[in-house]
Amino acid sequence: MKIAVISDSHDHIWNTRRVVEQANRLGVEVMIHCGDLVSPFMLEEFDRFQGRVHLILGNNPGDQVLLMRSILSRQGRAEFHGWFGAIELGGISIAWIHSPDEARHIARSGDFSLVCCGHTHRWSMEDMGHVLLLNPGEILGRKEQPGWALIDVVTAEGKSEEAIKMGGPVDGAGPGKKPVWSDFFGVERIFLEEEVLIL
Ligand SMILES: [Fe+2]
Protein backbone atom coordinates (compact mmCIF):
# COMPACT_ATOMS: atom_id res chain seq x y z
CA MET A 1 0.00 0.00 0.00
CA LYS A 2 1.33 3.43 -0.98
CA ILE A 3 0.61 6.53 1.08
CA ALA A 4 1.53 10.11 0.19
CA VAL A 5 2.38 12.47 3.04
CA ILE A 6 2.33 16.11 2.00
CA SER A 7 2.24 19.46 3.79
CA ASP A 8 2.08 23.23 3.44
CA SER A 9 0.51 23.60 0.02
CA HIS A 10 -0.57 27.18 0.90
CA ASP A 11 -2.92 27.79 -2.03
CA HIS A 12 -0.27 26.80 -4.60
CA ILE A 13 -2.65 25.38 -7.18
CA TRP A 14 0.00 24.36 -9.72
CA ASN A 15 2.29 22.46 -7.35
CA THR A 16 -0.69 20.77 -5.70
CA ARG A 17 -1.87 19.69 -9.12
CA ARG A 18 1.59 18.24 -9.77
CA VAL A 19 1.71 16.23 -6.56
CA VAL A 20 -1.75 14.80 -7.22
CA GLU A 21 -0.73 13.85 -10.74
CA GLN A 22 2.49 12.22 -9.50
CA ALA A 23 0.68 10.35 -6.74
CA ASN A 24 -1.88 9.01 -9.19
CA ARG A 25 0.88 7.85 -11.52
CA LEU A 26 2.72 6.11 -8.64
CA GLY A 27 -0.41 4.26 -7.54
CA VAL A 28 -0.86 6.07 -4.23
CA GLU A 29 -4.07 5.05 -2.48
CA VAL A 30 -4.22 7.47 0.43
CA MET A 31 -2.97 11.02 0.88
CA ILE A 32 -2.27 12.63 4.24
CA HIS A 33 -2.02 16.42 4.36
CA CYS A 34 -0.19 17.84 7.41
CA GLY A 35 -1.84 21.24 7.34
CA ASP A 36 -1.76 24.71 5.78
CA LEU A 37 -3.95 23.83 2.85
CA VAL A 38 -5.50 27.26 3.50
CA SER A 39 -8.29 28.06 1.00
CA PRO A 40 -11.29 25.77 0.49
CA PHE A 41 -10.93 26.08 -3.30
CA MET A 42 -7.77 23.95 -2.99
CA LEU A 43 -10.02 20.95 -2.41
CA GLU A 44 -10.82 21.03 -6.12
CA GLU A 45 -7.22 20.04 -6.80
CA PHE A 46 -7.56 16.98 -4.57
CA ASP A 47 -10.71 15.97 -6.47
CA ARG A 48 -8.27 14.79 -9.15
CA PHE A 49 -6.64 12.35 -6.71
CA GLN A 50 -7.69 8.75 -7.26
CA GLY A 51 -7.81 7.86 -3.55
CA ARG A 52 -8.94 9.41 -0.32
CA VAL A 53 -7.32 12.51 1.15
CA HIS A 54 -7.09 13.12 4.91
CA LEU A 55 -6.81 16.73 5.99
CA ILE A 56 -5.97 18.64 9.15
CA LEU A 57 -5.68 22.35 9.88
CA GLY A 58 -2.40 24.19 10.12
CA ASN A 59 -1.61 27.57 11.63
CA ASN A 60 -3.11 29.22 8.52
CA PRO A 61 -6.62 27.78 8.75
CA GLY A 62 -8.39 30.03 6.23
CA ASP A 63 -12.19 29.83 6.00
CA GLN A 64 -12.82 26.81 8.23
CA VAL A 65 -16.61 26.86 7.91
CA LEU A 66 -16.52 26.77 4.13
CA LEU A 67 -13.70 24.23 4.23
CA MET A 68 -15.74 21.83 6.34
CA ARG A 69 -18.86 22.33 4.23
CA SER A 70 -16.81 21.68 1.09
CA ILE A 71 -15.32 18.49 2.57
CA LEU A 72 -18.74 17.19 3.59
CA SER A 73 -20.08 17.80 0.09
CA ARG A 74 -17.39 15.47 -1.25
CA GLN A 75 -19.09 12.49 0.40
CA GLY A 76 -16.10 10.66 1.81
CA ARG A 77 -13.42 11.33 -0.81
CA ALA A 78 -11.91 13.85 1.59
CA GLU A 79 -11.88 13.49 5.35
CA PHE A 80 -11.35 16.28 7.84
CA HIS A 81 -9.63 15.46 11.17
CA GLY A 82 -9.50 18.87 12.85
CA TRP A 83 -6.13 19.76 14.38
CA PHE A 84 -4.87 16.18 14.82
CA GLY A 85 -5.24 13.08 12.68
CA ALA A 86 -4.80 9.43 13.64
CA ILE A 87 -5.56 6.43 11.47
CA GLU A 88 -4.38 2.90 10.80
CA LEU A 89 -3.44 2.08 7.23
CA GLY A 90 -2.09 -1.23 5.99
CA GLY A 91 -1.44 -2.32 9.56
CA ILE A 92 0.58 0.72 10.60
CA SER A 93 -0.65 3.35 13.00
CA ILE A 94 -0.15 6.91 11.79
CA ALA A 95 -0.64 10.22 13.56
CA TRP A 96 -0.14 13.70 12.17
CA ILE A 97 -0.30 17.27 13.41
CA HIS A 98 0.99 20.53 11.94
CA SER A 99 3.34 21.49 14.79
CA PRO A 100 6.73 19.67 14.87
CA ASP A 101 7.01 20.14 18.65
CA GLU A 102 3.65 18.52 19.30
CA ALA A 103 4.49 15.78 16.81
CA ARG A 104 7.62 14.94 18.79
CA HIS A 105 5.59 14.53 22.00
CA ILE A 106 3.15 12.27 20.17
CA ALA A 107 6.04 10.23 18.75
CA ARG A 108 7.42 9.72 22.26
CA SER A 109 4.09 8.29 23.40
CA GLY A 110 4.89 5.06 21.57
CA ASP A 111 1.32 4.77 20.30
CA PHE A 112 2.21 5.18 16.61
CA SER A 113 4.69 3.80 14.08
CA LEU A 114 4.67 6.95 11.98
CA VAL A 115 4.17 10.53 13.20
CA CYS A 116 4.10 13.32 10.62
CA CYS A 117 4.11 17.11 10.85
CA GLY A 118 4.65 20.21 8.75
CA HIS A 119 5.07 23.93 9.46
CA THR A 120 8.85 24.28 8.96
CA HIS A 121 8.52 23.86 5.18
CA ARG A 122 11.61 21.67 5.36
CA TRP A 123 12.05 17.95 4.91
CA SER A 124 13.20 16.05 7.98
CA MET A 125 13.21 12.45 9.00
CA GLU A 126 14.13 11.23 12.48
CA ASP A 127 14.48 7.56 13.23
CA MET A 128 13.31 7.16 16.83
CA GLY A 129 13.57 3.37 16.79
CA HIS A 130 10.02 2.11 16.90
CA VAL A 131 8.62 5.29 15.40
CA LEU A 132 9.57 7.51 12.50
CA LEU A 133 9.10 11.27 12.94
CA LEU A 134 8.65 12.72 9.45
CA ASN A 135 8.21 16.17 7.98
CA PRO A 136 7.56 15.86 4.23
CA GLY A 137 8.71 19.41 3.48
CA GLU A 138 6.53 21.76 1.49
CA ILE A 139 4.42 21.74 -1.62
CA LEU A 140 4.61 25.55 -1.77
CA GLY A 141 8.32 25.73 -2.69
CA ARG A 142 9.14 28.79 -0.59
CA LYS A 143 12.08 27.45 1.45
CA GLU A 144 13.19 24.41 -0.49
CA GLN A 145 12.49 22.44 -3.61
CA PRO A 146 8.85 21.37 -3.36
CA GLY A 147 8.26 17.72 -2.65
CA TRP A 148 6.55 15.11 -0.53
CA ALA A 149 7.03 11.69 1.11
CA LEU A 150 6.00 8.39 -0.40
CA ILE A 151 5.35 5.73 2.24
CA ASP A 152 5.39 2.17 0.99
CA VAL A 153 3.82 -0.17 3.51
CA VAL A 154 5.46 -3.57 3.39
CA THR A 155 3.40 -5.34 6.02
CA ALA A 156 0.60 -7.60 4.92
CA GLU A 157 -2.86 -6.12 5.09
CA GLY A 158 -5.01 -7.37 7.89
CA LYS A 159 -2.30 -7.84 10.51
CA SER A 160 -3.36 -6.18 13.68
CA GLU A 161 -1.18 -3.56 15.32
CA GLU A 162 -1.12 -5.67 18.45
CA ALA A 163 0.18 -8.67 16.48
CA ILE A 164 2.85 -6.50 14.89
CA LYS A 165 4.00 -5.27 18.28
CA MET A 166 4.36 -8.87 19.40
CA GLY A 167 6.79 -9.39 16.54
CA GLY A 168 5.04 -12.46 15.21
CA PRO A 169 3.57 -11.90 11.78
CA VAL A 170 6.28 -9.93 10.02
CA ASP A 171 9.20 -11.63 8.30
CA GLY A 172 12.40 -11.24 10.27
CA ALA A 173 10.60 -9.92 13.34
CA GLY A 174 10.40 -13.07 15.38
CA PRO A 175 10.60 -13.56 19.11
CA GLY A 176 13.52 -11.72 20.65
CA LYS A 177 13.54 -8.98 18.03
CA LYS A 178 11.30 -6.08 18.78
CA PRO A 179 10.22 -4.67 15.42
CA VAL A 180 11.10 -1.15 14.41
CA TRP A 181 9.21 1.08 11.99
CA SER A 182 11.41 0.09 9.04
CA ASP A 183 10.15 -3.48 9.36
CA PHE A 184 6.78 -2.19 8.21
CA PHE A 185 7.32 0.61 5.75
CA GLY A 186 9.84 2.42 3.60
CA VAL A 187 10.05 6.15 2.88
CA GLU A 188 11.06 7.87 -0.34
CA ARG A 189 11.41 11.60 -0.93
CA ILE A 190 9.69 12.65 -4.13
CA PHE A 191 10.33 16.04 -5.71
CA LEU A 192 7.77 17.73 -7.90
CA GLU A 193 8.35 17.45 -11.59
CA GLU A 194 8.75 20.52 -13.71
CA GLU A 195 6.73 19.47 -16.73
CA VAL A 196 4.00 21.79 -17.95
CA LEU A 197 0.60 20.49 -17.04
CA ILE A 198 -2.32 20.42 -19.41
CA LEU A 199 -5.22 22.07 -17.63
FE1 LIG B 1 2.96 26.62 6.43
CATH number of 2-191: 3.60.21.10
H or E element, residue 110: none
Q: For residue 135, report the distance from its CA to the centre of ligand 1, in Å.
A: 12
CA of 99 to the centre of ligand 1 (A): 10
Instruction: Output the CA 133–ligand 1 centroid distance in Å.
Output: 18
20: helix, strand or coil: helix
Strand pairing of 92-97 and 84-89? Answer: antiparallel
How far, in Å, is the centroid of ligand 1 from the Cα of 41?
Answer: 17
List pLDDT tens digits, range 143-170. Answer: 999 999 999 998 655 444 444 444 444 4
pLDDT in tens, 84-107: 999 999 999 999 999 999 999 999
> What pLDDT, on the 0 to 100 scale, is given for residue 174?
54
How far is Cα 28 from Cα 181, in angstroms, rounded to an integer?
20
Domains of the chain, by residue range, sit at 2-191
Ligand 1 mean position to 178 CA, how many Å? 36
Return the minimum-mean-pLDDT range out of 1-5, 50-54, 84-88, 159-163. Answer: 159-163
Q: How many CA atoms lie within 13 A of 172 on its CB side?
A: 8
The predicted model gives 3-20 an average pLDDT of 97
The Cα angle at residue 88 between residues 84 and 91, in degrees rounded to 5: 155
Q: Measured in angstroms, how far is the CA atom of residue 160 from the centroid of ligand 1?
A: 34
β-strands 78-80, 114-116: how paired?
A: unpaired
CA of 56 to the centre of ligand 1 (A): 12
Q: What's 24's DSSP letter?
A: H
Calculate how far, in angstroms, residue 161's C-alpha sits from the geometric centre of ligand 1: 32
Interval between CA 121 and ligand 1 midpoint (Å): 6
